[in-house]
Amino acid sequence: MTELSVSEALRAALDEELARDERVYVAGEDVGSFGGNFGETRSLQEKYGETRVRDTPLSEVGIAGHALGAAVGGLRPVAELQFADFAATAGDEMINQIPKMGYISGGQFSVPLTVLAPSGAGIRSGAQHSQSVHAWMGSQPGFVVVTLTTPYDAKGLLKSAIRDDNPVFVLPHKNLMGKRGEVPDEEYTLPLGEAAVEREGDDVTVVATQQLFYRAIEAAERLAGEIDVEVVNPRTFAPLDTETIRASVRKTGRLVAVDETPLRYGTQSHIVSEVTTNDFFSLDAPPQTVGVADTPIPFSPPLEDEVIPGTDGIVDAIRDTF
């Protein structure tokens, strides 16, 4: 085991996949000598050259759109958007084109591309650089949408995304790029579409990823001895592994869905709906949801901190299920 940061784990995954498969290439703004906004592509261009690690002109439309054609044409692009918010500036490509081309071709085309884009709030970057987009991108059937939480996740899931034959949208969190954790020294991948039970507990299930995962763990530790909290990390939000979540709720009888997407039409509602529809009689109390208030993400630190759920809010929500 080696301790790596999330951005180091991403770089290790890219490095290994570039070495493993010559069809893989990385394209995006500043991915070359600049090394990526968070250092995630540092030194890769030196190692693999300008063809395999290619700086692009400044256009998300071009980055996402060309990657679609390249994937149909037999390559495995890793298209980097500097911020996940920019999925909207490439909205036609990200929503109308990429997730639908395999389907409308009647299964003739496969689109094995990865879009890598840091998401989430907390680095004081304002409303257009702080969004969690996995709810609105997750509602596009055809896209696999993955959130990264630990350095272990980051490396294993990015490697799987690159190897998968679907378009995969991979979302590390901006505020976790420096987060460090143990990563195996030997080669490994993590399955897409499968949630992980990260902390076992008997009394209540909390579903959380990215920075709110760590706050959920803090909440669980704060309640230890009083309430035994199980924490599930969905890893893949679309398609969502509802079975693992439902199995946990069948065990605990209680559910708190925590996510950094806005509460209105957010992922929290979908998770709760899956459980109440299918396992209503397993529930001992109404499920609770924790998310961003229905506002854009504000810039000023106290305002931003106000709208992003904190550990206290998760503790309160857990208590509300009793």
Partner 1 sequence: MVHETTASLEDCSAGTIETLLEEMIRIRAFDEAALDQFRDGDVPGFLHLCHGHEASHAGMGTAMEPDDWLAVGGSRLHGQYLVKGVPMREAMAEIYGKATGSNHGKGGSMHLADHERHLYGHAATIGSGQNPAAGLALAQQMRETGNVVVSTIGDGGTSRGSFHTALVFAATWNLPVVYVIENNGFAISYDAGNLPADELSAYGEPLGIPTASVDGMDPVAIHEAVSAAVERARSGGGPTVIESRVVRMRGHFEGDKQQYREDPDAAAGEAHDPLASFRDRLQDRGYLTDAEYEARYADAESTAADAVAYARESEFPEPATAYEDVYVRPLYGQEGTDGGEER
Binding site for partner 1 (CB under 8 A): 23, 25, 51, 54, 56-57, 59, 61-62, 64-75, 77, 92-93, 96-97, 101-110, 141-142, 144, 160-161, 163-166, 189-194, 236, 239
Q: Are 256 and 223 in contact (CB under 8 A)?
A: no
Q: At closest approach, how far in Å is the CB of 6 from partner 1?
A: 20
- Shortest Cβ 163–partner 1 spacing (Å): 5
φ, ψ (nearest 5 deg) of residue 135? -75, -50
**Exactly one of 66, 129, 134, 270 is catalytic; which is it?**
129
Minimum distance between the CB of residue 77 and partner 1, rounded to whole angstroms?
7
Asked if residue 260 lies in contact with residue 138, where contact means CB atoms within 8 angstroms, the answer is no
CB nearer to partner 1: give 24 or 219: 24
Confirm whether 129 is a catalytic residue.
yes
The span from the CA of 168 to the CA of 142, in Å, is: 9
Which one, 101 or 317, has the nearer CB to partner 1? 101
What is the distance in angstroms between the CA of the first residue and the CA of the last residue of the chain? 40
CB of 193 or CB of 298, closer to partner 1:
193
Specify the pairing of strand 2-5 against strand 180-183: antiparallel
Residue 298 preceded by cis peptide, ω within 30: no
Q: Which is nearer to partner 1, 74 or 225 (CB)?
A: 74
Q: Give CA 126 to chain center in angstroms.
A: 20
In angstroms, what is the minimal distance from the CB of 202 to partner 1? Answer: 28
Residues in the chain: 322
Residues annotated catalytic, as ranges: 129
